[in-house]
Amino acid sequence: MAQVELWFQPSYALHPPATLHQEVLLRWRDSQQQLQLPQDFLAQVDEAGMTRQLDRFVLSQTVEILKRHPDLSLSVNLFKDAIYDTRLTQDLQETLHQVGVNPQRLSVELTEGAIVQDLAQL
């Protein structure tokens, strides 16, 4: 996962002016060091069966960032397959507790489109 980078997009409140949280965005540098957006590489991650590993990598890195920056709140998007990872929630809660990060500082999201697509296949 060395070529994967986490970027951050802030979400602001207008009144009173404040940063509410930041969304973790995934980027990938290809062999020519060109920055690739998720739509350019996530399908290959899914086809390779690596969604669980990528989700856990992103969560691990996000928890480390939260540990180093106690005033920060982050949100991350996970693959739809995270719903079926029975250990993910428990592992994440244990990790947050071990490093002393308040779970309220982390939001985990699944995109609506991914869930709707999954339901359509049922």
**CA 117 to centroid of chain Cα atoms:** 20
pLDDT band at 2 (very low <50, low <70, confident <90, very high): low
**CA 114 to centroid of chain Cα atoms:** 14
CATH number of 4-120: 3.20.20.450
Tell me what the pLDDT averaged over the chain comes to.
88
| pLDDT of the residue at 110 | 84
62: Cβ contacts below 8 Å, ≥ 6 apart: 6, 24, 74, 76, 106
Euclidean distance between CA atoms 70 and 80, whole angstroms: 29
- Mean pLDDT value of segment 30-50: 91
- Mean pLDDT value of segment 83-97: 91
Q: What is the pTM of this model?
A: 0.84
For residue 121, give Cα distances in angstroms to 73, 113, 118: 34, 13, 5
Q: Is the pLDDT of residue 105 over 70?
A: yes
Euclidean distance between CA atoms 46 and 61, whole angstroms: 20
Domain residue ranges of the chain, discontinuous segments joined by +: 4-120
